[in-house]
Structures are given as structure tokens and as C-alpha cells.
Amino acid sequence: MTTLPTPQGRLTANRRLNDLTWLRVGGPADYLFQPADLEDLQAFLHHLPAEVPVFPMGVGSNLIVRDGGLRAVVIRLGRGFNGIAVDGTTVTAGAAALDAHVARKAADAGVDLTFLRTIPGSIGGAVRMNAGCYGSYTADVLKSATIVTRQGELVELTPADLNFRYRQSDLPEGAVLVSATFQGPAGDPADLHARMEAQLKKRDETQPTKDRSAGSTFRNPAGFSSTGRADDVHDLKAWKVIDDAGMRGARRGGAQMSPKHSNFLINTGNATAADLEGLGEEVRKKVYETSGITLEWEIMRVGDPLTD
């Protein structure tokens, strides 16, 4: 049996992950590691046997962990990795800082990172997925990101290193993102806060924010943007092709495509990960049959299915 390093932080064996994801599903990880601080994380990764897989996990807002769990050390950053500092129009945030908190603190200082306000999750996930909305993206404002490599080294990455694409970026295998620095446009704090309030109102009117979901389920179909770049300003939306396929409100077990917004997969109360992923695959199949479009998952799915 592989021996793991003894860290200063918390290392828990056979830890179920369902309570750490917004969809509240998922089996156990072999281990869950919550580092005490940056040095603890570096030392742990440096001494961790190379054959042991690592899976960095944010707040679980965009994630399905399959019912059989995850054969890896799941690393979840907490206190010590959620600081936010503003210097002029430069904002540096720990990877565990919530997107909404960063947007608000930046607005207080007259820095426009308002697009982050309605994005669920933390800064680490925003960088990893090049999160964005309203035509603005993490890639547009990122100056640099700091990671701890699988070998425990602290490395600063540029936007070019990350190779940002629509809902994607490149990070070294097993690396854990620990902080990011942004350069945002200047703005009037009152105007920025008013804009965010309007965005929240619009979101609550159009999205099932009171239901248990993981945000948008599928990316908007690529190649259908009049702007010439793959982004959220697509002429053809995922929800539209799902509607056209007759899958709004579709159910499988405890999973449902939201009647309020058909690109939101929700846990109605007793869904398994298999229910959720299975319904998503049914939607993809039906959309392909009716439109010839292959929807791509925006929600990350990891781990093993449950076996008998």
C-alpha cells in the first residue's frame, strides 16, 4: 500500500465528496487533503509518490463526481488561499476566493470585474475554465496565475502559458492553482455595484438559482457566433437546441432539465450522479438526432461509475 506524506493540514481517507459539490452527488475520494498553507501544499506534493493521482477541487460548483468515487488525492483549498488584495486597478485573489466576493471587492475599489459577480464558484475554477459572461472572460483580464506543480514547485504562468480557449485552458498535469492576478478597467464604484445588481436580477429571473444545479450544463454550440470568436455571444444557444429537441423539463430518476432554463441540469432531491450524467447524455443524443449538433459538456465529470 502506498504511504502518503504526513501534512500539517487535514488528510482524510475514503472521504465522500457529495457534500462538497453543488449537485450533492458523488462517491468517496481515496483521500481529501486540505492544506494548512502554501508551504504545506508544496511539501505534500513534493513528497507525494509520483504514481498517486491528484485532483484539485474548488467549491464543486461545476462538477459531477461519479457515484463510485475518485481514485486520487483530492486537494481542496480553504482559508489561507482566499485572500483578495487590490492595488490600483490590479486585483490579486487566492484560488479559493469566491468569484462573487472578488467582483464586489474590486468594485468597492473602482475596478471593473463585474462579469465575475454572477459566476458560481471560485477563482481557481474561473481561471481553469476561462469563465465568463456578458461577453467578458477571465482571459481578457488575467495578468498571471500562480500554481504549485505536481513536484511542489511554485511557478507563475502567463495567459500565453495557459492557452485560453472557450471554457478551457491548459494547466500542467496535477498542478494546483493557488492565486491569480487581474488587471481590470477602472470604473465608478456605485455604477459597478448597480450593474452587478442588475445582472443578479436578470439571472434570478431567467435561471433556476433556487434549485440544486451546477450552472450551465452544455457549452453553446461552437461555430454559431457572429462575433467570429467562440464565446457566450453565440447566435445559437444550447438552451434553444435543447428546447427544439423537446428536452426542457425532461427527467431521469431524481435528475431534471430545468423547466425554467433548459440548459440547467438540476437535482430535484434524490438524484444520483448516474441520473444526472445519464440525463445529460440523453439530451446530447436527442439534440444530435434533431439538429445534427453535438453538445459539449460544460460541467466536468470525474471519477468511476458505481459497480455492482
Cα torsion 217, 223, 229, 234 to 10°: value is -50
Contacts of 185 (CB under 8 A, 6+ apart): 89, 111, 112
185, three cell numbers: 478597467
* Helical ranges in 32-75 per DSSP H: 38-47
Rounded-to-integer distance, Cα 114 and Cα 104, Å:
8
- 108-113 long-range contacts (CB < 8 A, ≥24 apart) are 108/189, 109/189, 110/186, 110/187, 110/188, 110/189, 110/192, 111/86, 111/184, 111/185, 111/186, 111/187, 111/192, 112/184, 112/185, 112/186, 112/187, 112/192, 113/141, 113/182, 113/184
Q: Which of 167, 195, 248, 252 is catalytic?
A: 167
Q: Which of 15, 213, 277, 298 is catalytic?
A: 298
Q: Which of 61, 122, 213, 216 is catalytic?
A: 216
Whether 262 is a known active-site residue: answer no
Whether 76 is a known active-site residue: answer no
243, three cell numbers: 428546447
Three-state DSSP state, 251? strand
Radius of gyration of the chain (CA): 20
Whether 289 is a known active-site residue: answer no
Q: What are phi and psi of 276, to 5 degrees?
A: -65, -50
Catalytic positions: 167, 216, 298
